[in-house]
Structure 1
Amino acid sequence: MTEAEQVPHRDDRAWPRGAGPISLVVGLAAIAFGVAVTASSARALTSALCLLAGLLIGSSLIVVGMQRWLSGKGIPAGLGITSAVVAVAAWIFFKVTGMAGGGGALFAGLLGGLFLANVWAIQAARANRRR
């Protein structure tokens, strides 16, 4: 037996019912909040870059971790540590810059990226169930 046959693929039963639509709504609301913060900021370019960075970081953490988890492997410890470091760094940045200085946009981007990538993960897990 090959390694792929020995490791069971996980499916969407790990999420509660309705997690996909809820993740989509929360993710879109977080992005809308980030756009509103960016639009009202005196430093709109900095806030926009923070929002984009948050989206990319949040979504990439979920996608990398979930690809491994869905294939039946564990989530690497380094990914968990990276997630914690990013969350702490975002909190510090938020405390230093405040809502209008990019901190709010960064947090909104992180949450939006995490929740929208979770929608992808649920869809990918659902495909595993069909196999």
Structure 2
Amino acid sequence: MAGLFILVEGLNRTGVLPALATALKTYAEIAPDQASWVSGTAVVIASNLVNNLPMGLVAATLNHSADLPVQVMGAVLVGVDIGPNLSITGSLATILWLIALRRESESVSAFQFLKVGLVVMPPTLMLGSLRWC
């Protein structure tokens, strides 16, 4: 967990997060609905690449520094929560469940998980994000 805070603080001190916060705030002021969809989708992709724990911390930092509109922040939070259902590394909970399944001699491959995730996650993300647009 400490590594997550160090990672986010590093992004903050190098200017990556402030620049991203400024760009997202400007985009949200110009086109709030579009900013919600784009930011939610970007968070889904990032959550699957780096895990949803650091993405949640990045999202909280962005919201704090940019004071984003509720609809953009809502879409980002939906992306942090639902997004990692595409890859087995997207969420710590998924990794722990897979370990428990393997202990019971059940096996779920990354490809099997991805196939189900591609069917289930996009509609769930869209329906969850509609509330915020």
Considering the TM-score relative to the shorter chain, is it more than 0.5? no
TM-score, structure 1 normalization: 0.32
Higher relative contact order structure (alpha carbons within 8 Å, sequence separation ≥ 6): 1
Q: Which has the larger radius of gyration?
A: 1
